[in-house]
Amino acid sequence: MNDKNSTTLYTRRNFLTAGAGLAATAAFSPYVIGRTKAKDKLGVALVGLGYYSTDLLAPALQLTKNCYLAGIVTGTPAKAEAWKEKYKILDKNIYNYQTFDQIANNPDIDVVYVVLPPSMHREYVVRAAKAGKHVWCEKPMAPTVADCKAMIEACEKNKQKLAIGYRNLHDPNMQAWMKLAKEGTLGKPRLVNCAAAYVDNRTTHWKQKKDMGGGVMGDMGVYSIQGARHAIGEEPMLVTAHFFNNRPEIYHEVEETSMYQMHFPSGALSNCTASFGINSNFLKVNYEKGTLMMEPFSSYSGNKGTYSGGVINIPVPLNNQQANQMDDDALAIMQNKPLIAPGEEGMRDIKVVEAIYEAAKTGKEVKIG
């Protein structure tokens, strides 16, 4: 393949053709839920109607082809009434946190999407799995590795799939540079510099509260961890880290900015940043035979970049990562195929997050088990 033909790893035509092929496959592999009638769309219930559900997931579900908004779970009656009116949700598909487990008896709902503060993820993922529903869980997966394990085990025990809401992994531009790294086109990776950061001025959100699973590492940190992990193609073996709080009036319970380094088995190194006080979003990889630069690399849209010999700038159908994420995950369920971001992927990131917290606390290198 010459350089001209290799400058773009995917084309819009290829991407849309692949999507059409998957849709056709789905038509011949219908999802059956203990009944004779096949489903061509999965009903999704959103648990927690905060900003992310309201402004991003619910609108995205109006664009999806493989799933739809079937129900909601909220502790606020006014929200329930407003959503019922706006999205024509049936009364029988509206739950609160006391009636949540009754969702087991509702055939309209196939997937429960947990969009709650991280401290609540384990409880509601486990309860959803026990109710016999597949589960999508927003990131960060959970505050601890022990929580992640319990969530994975509950879904496995009840034969339900568990996907983590890593919408960026469903962006073809991110998939393109990951493919480049996996194929070793530029040789072995030697150094990664990666940042995932934005300025968050809120004061009462879960991201600022320790007991709700807040802190920048679980939120933005997983993106920079993923940038390094997937660019290098290995799991890190040790970390060092430092935390900084430039606005203690806001970030006095949790870290505002984290700068951390990871050492990989091959000898590759990464230098990463995650922050609620800096605007920065990029991935730079130095390979043996060239470089890769993505900026932005994990934004909601517009991710693009260059590498030695080519360009990565793929139009995203719908231009909506959340819609693509939910369609991909619904299709994987219906076809009983592997998920792009299963619970195990979420747990890999939390293993690193736990090590980073220990490294920042002790000031020492911490090995990752």
86 as an active site residue: the answer is no
Residue 223 bears catalytic tag = yes
Question: Which residues 6+ apart lie within 8 Å of 133 measured at CB?
Answer: 45, 103, 104, 109, 110, 111, 112, 160
Assess contact for 308 and 289: CB atoms under 8 A. yes
Q: Which residue of the set 31, 113, 166, 223 is catalytic? A: 223
What single DSSP character describes residue 104? G
Q: Which two tokens stand for residue 190?
A: 């030697």
Question: 197 with 221: CB under 8 angstroms?
Answer: no
Write down the catalytic residue from 133, 139, 161, 207.
139
Q: How far apart are CA 182 and CA 303, in angstroms?
A: 19
Report the distance separating Cα 297 and Cα 282, nearest Å: 5
Tell me which residue has tokens 């600022």.
208
- The residues, ordered by sequence, that sit 6+ positions from 232 with a Cβ below 8 Å of its Cβ are 181, 189, 192, 264, 266, 268, 270
| CB-based burial label for 68 (10 Å; 0-12, 13-18, 19+) | middle
Catalytic residues, which ones?
139, 223
